[in-house]
Amino acid sequence: MNKSVKQAKRKAPLMKTSKLVRKVKLKSKAQPKRKSAPPVSLVREPLTHYGLTPVTQVNGSHRFIDLFCGIGGFHRAFEKQGGHCVFASDWDKFSQVTYRANFPNTTLIGDITKVSVEDIPEHDVLCAGFPCQPFSLAGVSKKNSLGRKHGFEDERQGNLFFNIAAILDHHRPAAFVLENVKNLKSHDKGRTFKIIHETLTRDLGYHVYYRIIDAQSVVPQHRERIFIVGFREPRFFEWPEFPKDGPRLGEILDSKVEVKYTLTDHLWSYLQNYARKHQEAGNGFGFGLTNKDGIARTLSARYHKDGSEILIDQGRGVNPRRLTPRECARLMGYPESQKIVVSDTQAYRQFGNSVVVPVVERIAGSVINALHEPVLENEPLIMELGEPKVGEVEAEIGPTSRKKRKAYAVPA
């Protein structure tokens, strides 16, 4: 990447502030606006198309970083497109164990907030599934019941988006892909997403697309997540197509499963009584019982507690069972080669927090294809639609202005 085309770089580590976003002047003056440079492809080698086996090299066609990496869903997706992961980060020690077992040659550190942006390697694509608990329906409901703050006011996880903004501001990668829960779009009556969108477009100058995608077209699981894709320069980007009919649970289930995964009489009775109680009260809470011909509810990080959201019917006279960790891996689209080196409890949490790999694979393919194309002379023509159906495009919006970029400090 030609460093001379970079704009003002951030010189100091991230700073704490009590404000939501504190914008500080850059130490070096912003460079004047330049005319579009001749189209030069970011990548240096042709990529294989999705579905073919790529040849991954140490100096791959693109370099990417994997923030809030979990167990490596983004890593697998972009590596399949011929990329090379130059940096990864996750604060959870058990996720680090799994990540290192599967990607031993990747530089992995813990808490990203403890790392100066200057110490992060140069990269072409930034990937981040930043923590969703502050914005998820279940997380917000629980925090409200406990009188705790959520969203950007969550002191532990809510401000991590601004760490991403600071990295984008400093390194100016050619593209980024972010993932979060569907509720991010509507959290706090849309104000949270508005801040995120304006930060990426108006303040950082990226051309942003976003879409809510349901993974049930590629895995047997109803799982809606929002993906936000951004490009430093205007590029022609198309969301990938997904099959109309997805797989069924029978395709990922084992024929023989240890008895320990079958619910005890006590737990099964408790779940039935709990569901009956809420049904009579008019609530929708209860267990999710399905079979090999169905699809699962959304796998969550709390699955280790009782497995109630996804229970497999084992026939008359036999209590249902929960999924095994290996079945959860398949439910999230991980290959059989994925190493599970932690306890069942931690494995359930890790898969419940993961991205669905085949979804990200398709998005990664579209992003890298866009980076192969020449930079557009003008803004791409984007049509705004009415309220889309589930899985259809939510909106695709570029920066509304070309204001000077502003550096970010992380809120306290």
Among 80, 83, 75, 123, residue whose Cα is nearest residue 99:
75
Amino acid identity of 30?
A
Domain 11-30+49-245+356-411, CATH among 3.40.50.150, 3.90.75.20, 3.40.1260.10, 3.40.50.720: 3.40.50.150
List the helix and strand counts (H, then E) for the chain: 10, 14
CB 394 within 8 A of CB 185: yes
Contacts of 35 (CB under 8 A, 6+ apart): none
Q: What is the mean pLDDT of residues 49-74?
A: 67
Domain 249-352, CATH among 3.40.50.1820, 3.40.50.300, 3.90.120.10, 3.40.50.620: 3.90.120.10
User: Can you tell me the distance from the alpha carbon of 234 to that of 175, in angstroms, rounded to the nearest whole number?
Assistant: 10
CATH 3.40.50.150 domain position(s) in the chain = 11-30+49-245+356-411
Q: What is the pLDDT of residues 246-272, one digit of tens each?
A: 999 999 999 999 999 999 999 999 999
- DSSP one-letter string for 336-347: TT----S-HHHH
Tokens of 308: 């109630």
User: Can you tell me the distance from the alpha carbon of 20 to that of 159, in angstroms, rounded to the nearest whole number?
Assistant: 8
Q: Is the pLDDT of residue 33 over 50?
A: no
Q: What is the pLDDT of residues 116-150, one digit of tens each?
A: 999 999 999 999 998 865 444 444 444 444 454 43
To the query of whether residue 132 is one of the catalytic residues in this protein, the response is yes
Q: What is the pLDDT of residues 349-399, one digit of tens each?
A: 999 999 999 999 999 999 999 999 999 987 765 544 333 443 444 445 555
Residue 208's DSSP bridge partners are 230, 397
CB 290 within 8 A of CB 332: no
Residue 408's DSSP bridge partners are 23
CATH 3.90.120.10 domain position(s) in the chain = 249-352
In this structure, is the dihedral angle defined by the CA atoms of residues 304, 310, 314 and 319, taken in order, positive or negative? positive
Among 69, 127, 132, 328, the active-site one is 132
SS3 174: coil
In this structure, is the dihedral angle defined by the CA atoms of residues 197, 89, 117 and 152, taken in order, positive or negative? positive
Alpha carbon 364 to chain centroid distance? 12
Angle between helices 93-102 and 344-352 (to 10 degrees): 80
Does an H or E element contain 209, and which? strand 207-214
Which pLDDT band holds residue 26 (cuts at 50, 70, 90)? Answer: very low
User: Can you tell me the distance from the alpha carbon of 129 to that of 70, in angstroms, rounded to the nearest whole number?
Assistant: 8
